[in-house]
Amino acid sequence: MTMLTTVARVRRATRREEDHEETKALAAAIAAVSAAFERHFGATLSLTPHQVRVEGPDAPYLQLQHTPIHSARVKIGGKLVDEADYTIDATSGVLVHESSWPDAEKTVQVNYTAGYVLPSDDNEHMTLPRHVEMACILYVQRLLDELAWRGLPDDALNQQLREATAGEMPVAVAALLRL
């Protein structure tokens, strides 16, 4: 389950006091908002392995679907390609071959990892854009301030959060995601 922030980071940013009941609600809200953001972006935001096979494009550029690219290994016709023979444009998701990828007669297989290091994975080395995490925190704060969640069983809370995040995002949250 993707968590675009942590309970501790939400508490710190919103100056919320330690509260055991609220801790469960915060974690559930973070999960619901994270899922809503992934629906919005149409992609998994956490580091995720991918594998793609394509017929050689006979061009120096090979566009991959998921970004940003964290790492990649390429095989042509089953043989591993030396990493010095290509560069990775992580942001655009393009592998650039020093000369050209082969033509359609050879299959290019790319095993790659794309996505972001999340605050829940590694606070010190996170790569998730800060404005995305701030949008998540803002949305979580708004949900917990507006919903009557205290005393609800976990399944009722999760249902309420799914319904609350199924519609349009708050204007401030949507604006942060457009940065």
% of the chain at pLDDT higher than 90: 62
Query: Tens digits of per-residue pLDDT, 47-90?
Result: 999 999 988 788 899 999 999 999 999 999 889 999 999 999 99
Q: What is the pLDDT of residue 154?
A: 83
How many other CB atoms sit within 10 Å of the CB of residue 28?
21
Nearest-angstrom CA–CA distance, 115 and 79:
26
Q: What is the pLDDT of residue 139?
A: 95
Q: What is the pLDDT of residue 94?
A: 95
Q: What is the pLDDT of residue 66?
A: 94
Query: Tens digits of per-residue pLDDT, 78-107?
Result: 899 999 999 999 999 999 998 888 876 788
